[in-house]
Amino acid sequence: MKAVAVAISVLAGSHAALAQSPLQSYFDASREGWAVETRTNPTGSFSLVQTYTPDFVASGGAEGGYIEELDPDSNWSFFSAPSAWGGDRSAFAGKRLEFRVRTDTLNYPDGRLVVLIGNGGQRVSHATALPPVNEWTFRSIPLTAGQWTIGSSGTGTQATQAQINAVLGSLERLLIGLEYGGDQLEERVGLDSVVFGVCPGDFDRDGFVDFFDFDAFVGCFEGGACPPGQSADFDGDGFVDFFDFDAFAAAFERGC
Ligand SMILES: [Ca+2]
Ligand SMILES: [Ca+2]
Ligand SMILES: [Ca+2]
Ligand SMILES: [Ca+2]
């Protein structure tokens, strides 16, 4: 009993040290407060032009429901996280932003852009690889130096960790690009399974890396139920095999 009590107190202690659980949108039943914003050129002032309401689609997402938008105008379009995701997110520094995206058109690359805007308008941005057409594609972006540049165009001067932390510390906007077609009303882009501030080893997405994650991964790997938005294909190469077990074990050991 004493060993159990010690183990529980160790677990409780590690939990108390973690300030914030990841923010998550799986769009099971609604658009969960997400919007679409169009903005002027990311290489310029990147000013807000107009806000739209994306469509909620009840099935056909990466898993279950998702949100979707037919590019509404000739500006640069982004999915915009709910305002409740803003504020002091400094606890997410060093963790990750993950999501799944799908586009039916690919002739304009700015949909790759992910932009964080801080209080006072300072911006950092990341350019993902281009997704394949018509396939849900997983993105996992570390909130660390080397992954983000200053400004909104995903190019140019690398942001330092201090600059990333400053934006996360007073976050105003989290924007995920959908501008994958040169014309308006051309590309239809979907978004699903967004997780902000997650550690890869936190398989059950509760904010802690602990034995429950190991248990959840093994259950999922062995063909049982997986946590929402999760798959046993941990390394994302399209196959479930021992390499996924290996990749998960490494992420588990890294912790949070
Ligand atoms: Ca979903
Ligand atoms: Ca377009
Ligand atoms: Ca966990
Ligand atoms: Ca795999």
pLDDT (tens place) for every residue of the chain, 256 residues total: 344 443 443 444 444 444 578 999 999 999 999 999 999 999 999 999 999 999 999 999 999 999 999 999 999 999 999 999 999 999 999 999 999 999 999 999 999 999 999 998 999 999 999 999 999 999 999 999 999 999 999 999 999 999 999 999 999 999 999 999 999 899 999 999 999 999 999 999 998 999 999 999 999 999 989 998 888 999 888 899 999 999 999 999 999 8
146 CA distance to ligand 3 middle (Å): 26
Distance from the CA of 234 to the center of ligand 4, in angstroms? 6
| Ligand closest in space to the Cα of 102 | 1
Pick the ligand that lies closest to the CA of residue 182.
2
∠90-30-152 over CA atoms, to 5°? 40
Cα of 206 vs centre of ligand 1, distance in Å, is 17
CB-side neighbour CA atoms (13 Å) of 189:
31
pLDDT at 162: 97
Domain ranges of the chain: 23-197, 199-254
Predicted model pTM: 0.88
Token digits for 256? 């949070």
User: Residue 87's beta-bridge partner residues?
Assistant: 171
Ligand nearest to the CA of 67: 1
Superfamily of domain 23-197: Galactose-binding domain-like (2.60.120.260)
Q: How far apart are CA 181 and CA 251, in angstroms?
A: 36
Rounded-to-integer distance, Cα 28 and Cα 18, Å:
27
pLDDT value at position 189? Answer: 98
Q: Which ligand is nearest to the CA of 69?
A: 2
Instruction: Give me 15's structure tokens.
Output: 């939990």
Ligand nearest to the CA of 236: 4
**How many Å lie between the centroid of ligand 4 and the Cα of residue 46?**
38
Please answer whether residues 218 and 19 qualify as being in contact, where contact means their C-beta atoms are separated by less than 8 angstroms. Answer: no
pLDDT at 74: 94
Ligand 4 is an ion; its neighbours by CB within 5 Å are 233, 235, 237, 239, 244
Q: Work out whether strand 171-177 and strand 96-103 pair parallel, antiparallel, or are unpaired.
A: unpaired
Centroid of ligand 1 to alpha carbon of 24 (angstroms): 10
Closest by CA position to 105, among listed 73, 69, 76, 134: 134
Ligand 4 centroid to Cα of residue 239, in Å, is: 4
pLDDT for res 221: 97
CA dist 213 and 135 (Å) reads 28
Q: CA 146 to CA 158: how far, in whole Å?
A: 6
161 Cα–ligand 1 center, Å: 31
Residue from 94, 189, 175, 85 nearest 137 by CA: 189
CA of 49 to the centre of ligand 2 (A): 14
Q: How far away, in angstroms, is 238 Cα from ligand 1 center?
A: 19
- SS3 for the chain is CHHHHHHHHHHHHHHHHCCCCCEEECCCCCCCCCEEEEECCCCCCCCEEEEECCEEECCCCCCCCEEEEECCCCCEEEEECCHHHCECCHHHCCCEEEEEEEECCCCCHHHHEEEEEECCCCEEEEECCCCCCCCCEEEEEECCCCCCEECCCCCCCECCHHHHHHHHHCEEEEEEECCCCCCCCCCEEEEEEEEEEECCCCCCCCCCCCHHHHHHHHHHHCCCCCCCCCCCCCCCCCCCCHHHHHHHHHHHHHCC
At residue 19, the pLDDT reads 52
- Please tell me the distance between residue 111's alpha carbon and the centre of ligand 2 in angstroms: 9
